Amino acid sequence: MLQAVLFDMDGTLVDTEPYWIAAEYRLVESFGGTWTDEHAHALVGNALITSAEYLREHGGVALPAEEIVERLLDEVVRATREAVPWRPGAVELLAELGSRGVPCALVTMSYDRLARVVLEQLPARTFGALVTGDQVADGKPHPEAYLTAAARLDVDPRYCVAIEDSPTGVASAEAAGCTVIAVPHNVPIDPAPGRRLVASLRDLSTDTLAAMISEQPQRLRP
């Protein structure tokens, strides 16, 4: 029944949000603007180009959006190379899914060059597909990223579990037809029918993920 597990990256598998927030503060302050944690949390899960436009509008960063993205990425890639901040239970859950033969995909709005830094710290073939923000036309909350990941794995998204940490990501995965497990971290996620909230990836296993699919027969209709 469980065909694949689709993982968000920032905030879900790795706690890189503090890196992003620190980079935002430094960039805004370099242009004489003022930034707040409220602004920073409003960007969690967004497409990077969307976040860049927000920084232009609310932080006074007078740069093209594409350059804002690249400057932020430079800082976050540098910090992640120094230390990959794994979320509790992330590496263990990925290893268990691999040992059980469950395909996995990484579905992130970060760009390929940051995702590769994280993938370098994992065994080869941990993920059978990678979808990054610079590979899609429409970022989360649009379903394109999750639909693309399912297509690359050659699976039906209705038989996939997506694991997310933000309302934006949850909306994307649910719009794609996935069953969603939310692991709130930096921003709250509201309960909803068919959605499971857990405190940690340590609370999950292959069997619990498979059970989530079997409990939602309405998703499995042709």
Straight-line distance from the first to the last Cα atom of the chain, in angstroms, rounded to the nearest whole number: 14
Q: Is residue 8 among the annotated active site residues?
A: yes
Residue type, 60: G
Instruction: Yes or no: say if 104 and 4 are a contact pair by the CB < 8 Å rule.
Output: yes
| Structure token digits, residue 100 | 């059980």
- Using alpha carbons, select from 85, 84, 86, 104 the residue that is nearest to residue 94: 104
CA distance 77 to 98: 26
Collapsed DSSP state (helix, strand, coil) of residue 146: helix
Cα distances from 128 to residues 68, 101, 113, 157, in angstroms, run: 30, 11, 17, 15
Element counts in the chain: helices (H) and strands (E):
9, 6
Residues marked active site are found at 8
